[in-house]
Chain A
């Protein structure tokens, strides 16, 4: 059974649809990249998958025992976070909150989990540092570590490379690839960068009011919409 399946779904706010007739499935181990113009509904789709807003029509089905609050989410940075006084350790640990239920405090196994995920992303020695003093790439790693605390199965990433320099961008994509290939975590990612998407992802979803493409990443450049964007593939045609 698919990890997430979307059937004939319409997405939008307050009864106004942004995307209609959306159909796709994500299986365990997939790396799905969602591309599309600004305002085409990428973030809306992500919020719907997370259950933050209800779909206007249709259904979202979670399979393989995945609960909706067990999705690791990496949101875009907000204004508030830029000068937030919090240590890296505190932020990563807050990813474990969905395990607490009604328990008010963290147990030692949750603290161990936060340690483990910081190690996994190579930020253990930043543990005591203040979040606002880190570089953009380090901040994204902290938020990714927090997302990993919240999930074993599925990561939802909203423009993980936004605002990063080329080296940090490559590091970020390599890390995500490692999590997907090596640790078997399913990844759904929003990206503006079509070239990177085609390079790293296993599947691509190109959305607009009516979804334009869903399929394997290797077929994307051959599709009509892929051809229209072929300038982005860096010389290959």
Chain B
């Protein structure tokens, strides 16, 4: 144990390790806040679809040789978020189909582009990195860190300021609209923020695993807690603890960051599920 702490202390001397932890915790916090709303609004798949779109956008950025791909990836993902939401409003099935359509198209075209145009000698390594985010969290620049801090502050501010409205729109859209809340506007806000958080989360766990950061904290918190506020707080704490733990474990044992975080989330989810089960049985 003492050895592990010593090793950790040594690693924390390096700025890239500290950056990774800061960024990881912030992304986890934002995605967990959003996750509660997305899961409750039955929008989980939007997160999943958008992460695939982001993969396609990363591929395009790689082909164009952009050094800072976020300039391209963020607008494309936000645009797709708006597109999905707009078509999804008319009928549910159509919205589902649009998400599936966009996500598989983005995956296929993304891989195709990388395959045809990539100058890299290790193509499958590149693809794997984008999908599972194996190292990008450890190669963050100061600019990336500031961008992430800035984005997280925006997400948290939106949540605090619009907390009551987000609750109302999530719980009962028609009632919210009847009381004069522009529900469509809030849905759009949620979709845009989701797209931005996904773009950030991609750095941490890769495109394929971003939905884990969104879904696990909310589902786990909902097992145990019964009010909206407590679920929101619990899922934020859960997400921060899981990703910090995941990052530390991956540094200590050299495992891939993304999948380690998700593995930790799975273990905690099972624990929460058990806790919820015991609580029910204890009544």
User: Could you list which residues of chain A lie within 8 angstroms of chain B, going by C-beta atoms?
Assistant: 47, 50-52, 68-69, 71, 73, 75, 78-81, 83-87, 89-91, 93-95, 97-98, 100, 104-106, 128-130, 133, 143, 146-147, 150, 156
Contact yes or no, A97 B165, CB < 8 A: yes
User: Are A84 and B164 in touch, CB under 8 angstroms?
Assistant: no
Q: Is B222 an interface residue (CB 8 A)?
A: yes
Q: Say yes or no for B6: interface residue by CB 8 A criterion.
A: no
The smallest beta-carbon distance between A78 and chain B, in angstroms, is 7
In the complex, chain A residues whose CB is within 8 Å of the CB of B229? 90
B-side interface size class: 20 to 34
- C-alpha gap A50/B180 in the complex (Å): 9
Determine if B177 and A97 form an interchain contact, defined as CB atoms under 8 angstroms apart.
no
Which residues of the other chain, B, contact A84 by a CB distance below 8 angstroms? 40, 171, 228
CB contacts (< 8 Å) of B180 on chain A: these are 68-69, 98
Assess the B172–A81 pair: CB atoms within 8 A.
yes
| B41 on the A face (CB < 8 A) | yes
Shortest Cβ gap from B278 to chain A (Å): 16
Q: Identify which of residues 160-189 in chain B touch chain A, using a CB-to-CB cut-off of 8 Å.
A: 160-165, 167-168, 170-172, 174-181
Smallest CB–CB gap between A9 and chain B, Å? 19
In angstroms, Cα B237 to Cα A145, docked, is 32
In the assembled complex, the CB of A103 is this many whole angstroms from the nearest CB of chain B, namely: 9
- Return 15 A-B CB contacts under 8 Å, by A number: A47-B174, A75-B178, A80-B41, A80-B170, A85-B225, A85-B231, A86-B167, A87-B228, A90-B227, A94-B172, A94-B175, A98-B180, A128-B227, A133-B226, A143-B175
The answer to whether B171 touches A94, judged by C-beta atoms less than 8 angstroms apart, is yes
Other-chain contact of B228, A79, A85, A106 (Cβ < 8 Å):
A85
Measured between alpha carbons, how far is A143 from B175 in the docked complex, in Å? 10
* Dominant SS among interface residues on chain B: helix
Contact with A along B94-106 (1 / 0, CB 8 A): 0000000000000
User: In this complex, what residue of A is CB-closest to B180?
Assistant: A69
Q: Given A80-B40, A81-B172, A97-B168, check contact A52 B227 (CB 8 Å).
A: no
Complex Cα–Cα for A105 and B40 (A): 22
Taken together as a complex, chains A and B put the C-alpha atoms of A83 and B223 apart, in Å, by: 11
- Which residues of B come within 8 Å of A, CB atoms? 40-42, 160-165, 167-168, 170-172, 174-181, 221-222, 225-231
Q: Cβ of A80: which chain B residues have Cβ within 8 Å of it?
A: 40-42, 170-172
Shortest distance from the beta carbon of B227 to any chain A beta carbon, whole Å: 4
How far, in angstroms, from A91 to B229 measured CA to CA in the complex? 11
Q: Which of A80, A133, A147 gathers the greatest number of chain B CB atoms within 10 Å?
A: A80
19 additional contacts, CB 8 Å, given A69-B179, A130-B227? A50-B178, A73-B174, A73-B175, A79-B42, A80-B42, A83-B222, A85-B228, A86-B167, A90-B167, A93-B164, A94-B176, A95-B179, A97-B165, A98-B179, A98-B181, A104-B163, A105-B163, A128-B227, A150-B179
Contact (Cβ within 8 A) B164 A105: yes
Task: Report whether A146 and B227 are in contact in the complex, using a CB–CB cutoff of 8 Å.
Answer: no
Residues of B within 8 A of A130 (CB): 226-227
Q: Are A97 and B162 in contact (CB under 8 A)?
A: no
Contact indicator B174/A75 (Cβ below 8 Å): yes
